[in-house]
A and B are shown apart, each in its own frame.
Chain A
Amino acid sequence: MVNINTTFEGEKNKSDNPFVTNNPTSWCPGCGNFSILDSINQTLHELDYKPQDVLMVSGIGQAAKLPHYIRAHGLNTLHGRAIPAAMGAQAANDTFKLFITSGDGDTYGEGGNHFMHNIRRNLDLVHIVHDNQVYGLTKGQGSPTTAMGQKTRLQFDGMRHDPLNPVALAISLGCGFVARSFSGDPKHLKEMIKAAMAYKGYALIDVMQPCVTFNHVNTFKWYKDRAFYIPETHDPTDKVRAFELAQTFGDAGIPMGILYREEKSTFMQRIPHIDRPLIAYPRKPSDIDGLIDQMV
């Protein structure tokens, strides 16, 4: 097992990064969200994006507040609903680099149906799931990814449900880009974000992230001690092997990197009659006159 790299590199020219804001956040000191935000900011800047090129969509939760802390277009929607909102946003104007940032509850719980069907739909976006295996904003209940038996502020005797395995689920549904990273390894996280941005289609990055306030099991050390980089010998286009690798979690080690990759046509590519952003079509009332004339 290769030890992962958890050193934080200070960004060289942070003051030059147009994505960085001074907005105060409502995150707890030491929260993994800070490093995820930094990684997104740095990646976008390094790839020469402008804030006007980027649309950050989110649902509700601590992670979902991220669009308020980055200088870009933002769409902060309802709990669980980031994905369908992003669908409409992309249908209307697919020229933005589209991100969804949301938590494990937002994505896999309240938004589970959208998650599943969006994999079929294959929007072209990077979905960063801040997966801290606990509900933060509602103060410490179990989430879909909390381990069976783990005690929480609501499940006093421990979780009674099996945890959901998001990467295995995504692979089984044919998601074209499935990766896992760790907020404590910003170098790796940035690499994953870059690879996801380069991928044409729906790219899921499940980011392990300690919740310093409510999750005293899955701590920074817990993740660091278990995470390992997926060996280069892994063929991410091998779906069966990827699914097998996705089963590995917890004390058996947690594989980090691109688990699965498959080239697929995207949502917009499957609508060939739209040859420019939908917003760019000129429209006027008399456009329907031809339809009406057919009815006489």
Chain B
Amino acid sequence: MKKTIIVAGAAGEGINTVERFIERILKKVGYEIFSYKNYMSRVRGGYNYSTIVISDKPILSIEDQADYFVALNQVAYANARLQLKEDGICLVEGDPSEEKENLIFDRSLLKEVSKSKNAFSMAAVGALLRVFGCEQEVLNDLNNSKWTDEVNASNMQAAVFGFEKTQPLFAPPENLKTRILMGGNQAVALGALSAGLSFYSAYPMAPSTGIMTYLASVEKEMHIIVEQAEDEIAGIMAAVGASSNGVRAMTGTSGGGFALKVETIGFAAVSETPIVIANVQRPGPATGLPTRTEQADLAFVATASQGEFSRIILAPLTVEDAFYTTFRAFNLADEYQVPVVILTDQLLADTTQSIPKFKTDDLKIERHLNTEITPDYKRYAFDQISGNRKYPGIDAETLIMTDSHVHDEYGAVTEEVEATLALKRKFLKRIEAIKKTLKKPLFYGDQAYETLFITWGSTYGALKDAVDELILKGEKVALLAFSDVFPLDKEVMDPYVSQAKCIINVEGNAMNQFGMILRMETGVMFDASINKYDGRPFSSAYIINEFEVINHGKH
């Protein structure tokens, strides 16, 4: 069973509230949930919608067309048929004599039962909860502590009205009730907290702001400091400053903010100060599409900042992976004393998914510090590729100089040829060491594959769902998904190249940026590509369609 609900209307009309009620309750009764917000860069008005996919099996992507469409206004109603499957049903407030394929909520009747200004949306929630087999008592959960008792009570009356209007069509699965509902930004924030994040400073920028908002909401409980910086540069400089004094620190932004932070990336690298930076991508260039999605910052992030140095780029594949990958980012940053970029995107940021509870038992914070009194300690020893780090105050003796120039092993500014070469060679060795440490790509699909899809980051979700469907159709396909996207080990493709008759690169940009990096680092070329760069996320249906076009072209 897999059904999709779209809730559509204007910004400020309560789309998020309806979405939250539906996904929270359906998750609680046992369904798998995967939802995504499609919204405009404005505070009120416009046309926004949330897509909620409900299933009894894990799902990793949205569907473009819905089984149920909740139209919160007339613009949404006009769009309903375009966004509904052929047998889909539109829930709308109006005159009951209208078209029969719609589920009409009689406006005058609704007014009689409930005084709530959200009477229709609450009635729609009630109606849908019953369709998915909920008992009437779950409606008791439809309250919001921020609202008055009176509002909650009239909302409830509307929900009961809706509940009584439908019949149960599906039954909740039994075994999934201990799952948690998690968003991509929140998973990044929790990964950082589990890694011992102490300081987060950033400048608000969609779609990354949710990381900072969540961290600020738990600031006291977790004894951390969240600072809204005066600009993007201050955001990252403060994080590097905090890290230079020994705490785990992070900043987050989107592409435009990352562009402003670029010089500091190089500073972190040359001063060998561990730092984690989340870049939640949105389409560029410049202001681009502020609330939409794209995977078009990879090539930029891989080369950002002047000079040559070592860095790591990690692109979480899923909401769940965003937690574990962010945790890992901090250990890697400390081990190699490098900038680590978490490269997500608006799709992942604004996805909410039911996932298993994060397991913290097996996680281990590894700081790679030198806590011993060390005579003649060299902060920047040229043969030190990883670890052995001291920071000011780590012991009562050692003085630490953190420096942005070419420097000697103690951090003193120098222009000597030997030191210049030694520093560069150290970075080169470090890059090689990092390549051997990073995670290999995830393989999924038919072991006897003929077509191998390559992807990275959040596109994994739609591609995995597409591979499942293609295998059911009898296609010999598999996928290789990279979370650790840079630097790439030159042998990483060796186990796969001989078997694949066709390699198809799938990524959310027009220029195949990962495909280019893969070719540059490994020499492996893709035969065809599936791209999406309209600011909207991939769906499995889109990938399957494109795959069929490629296959058709070959015959």
Contact = CB atoms under 8 A, between A and B. Distances in A.
B173 interface: no
B245 A89 contact: yes
Interface in A66-92: 67-68, 71-78, 81, 83-89, 91-92
A55 B241 CA distance: 11
A69 to B, nearest CB: 10
- The binding surface of chain B is classed by DSSP as mixed
B401 interface: yes
Contacts of B358: 288, 292
Contact of A96 (B223, B243, B392): B392
B440 to A, nearest CB: 23
Given A75-B244, A273-B219, A279-B246, A88 B199 contact: yes
Contact of B199 (A65, A68, A81, A278): A278
Interface stretch (B1-9, B189-197, B472-480): B189-197
A76 B404 contact: yes
B401 A89 contact: no
Interface in B337-364: 357-358, 360-361, 363-364
A296 B196 CA distance: 23
A128 to B, nearest CB: 18
28 contacts: A55-B245, A65-B413, A68-B412, A68-B413, A74-B399, A76-B402, A76-B413, A83-B234, A84-B229, A87-B237, A88-B237, A89-B244, A91-B242, A91-B247, A92-B198, A92-B199, A93-B246, A95-B393, A114-B230, A114-B234, A278-B242, A279-B247, A283-B196, A283-B198, A285-B195, A285-B363, A287-B193, A288-B193
B399 A71 contact: yes
Contact of B399 (A51, A91, A93): A51
B181 interface: yes
Contact of B404 (A51, A60, A88, A290): A60
Question: How big is chain A's contact interface, by range?
Answer: 35 or more
Contacts of A81: 233-234, 237, 264, 267
Contacts of B263: 78
A113 B231 CA distance: 8
B227 interface: yes
Interface string B183-205: 00000001001111011010000
Contacts of B231: 113-114
A74 B400 contact: yes
Contact of A84 (B234, B246, B412): B234
Q: Which of A65, A83, A288 has the most CB of B within 10 A?
A: A288
Given A73-B401, A76-B401, A87 B241 contact: yes
A78 B260 CA distance: 13
A88 B402 CA distance: 14
B240 A85 contact: yes
A26 B267 CA distance: 22
Contacts of A89: 241-242, 244-245
Nearest to A59: B404
Interface string B393-422: 100110111111100000111000000000
A93 B401 contact: no
Contacts of B399: 51-52, 71-74
Interface in A195-220: none
Nearest to B201: A88
Given A88-B249, A284-B196, A292-B357, A76 B240 contact: no
Given A23-B412, A78-B404, A283-B196, A92 B241 contact: yes
Q: What are the 8 tightest A-B residue pairs by CB atom distance, in nearest-first order?
A: A88-B241, A88-B242, A283-B196, A85-B241, A117-B230, A92-B245, A88-B238, A84-B237
Contact of B364 (A52, A86, A285, A295): A285
A228 B413 CA distance: 38
B237 A78 contact: yes
Interface residues of B, number: 66
A274 B181 CA distance: 30
Contacts of A116: 230
B230 A88 contact: no
Interface string A268-296: 00010110001101011111111110011
Nearest to B239: A88
Contact of B180 (A65, A271, A292): A292
A296 B357 contact: yes
B402 A74 contact: yes
A278 B225 contact: yes
B552 interface: no
B471 interface: no
B375 to A, nearest CB: 16
B374 interface: no
B433 interface: no
B146 interface: no
Contact of A91 (B194, B227, B248, B396): B227
B510 interface: no
Contacts of A289: 360
Nearest to B357: A292
Contacts of B227: 87, 91
Contact of B238 (A84, A288, A295, A296): A84
Contacts of A67: 401
Interface string B231-272: 101110111111111111100000000000001100100000
A92 B249 contact: yes
Contact of A74 (B229, B234, B240, B403): B403
Contacts of A77: 237, 240-241, 267, 404
B98 interface: no
Contacts of A57: 241
A296 B180 contact: yes
A113 B519 CA distance: 42
A285 B330 CA distance: 12
Nearest to B237: A84
B402 A286 contact: no
Given A89-B241, A92-B249, 16 more contacts: A55-B245, A60-B404, A77-B237, A78-B237, A85-B238, A88-B243, A91-B199, A91-B247, A93-B393, A96-B392, A114-B231, A278-B247, A279-B247, A283-B365, A286-B360, A288-B222
Nearest to B393: A93
Contacts of B396: 52
A169 B201 CA distance: 26
Contacts of A117: 230, 234
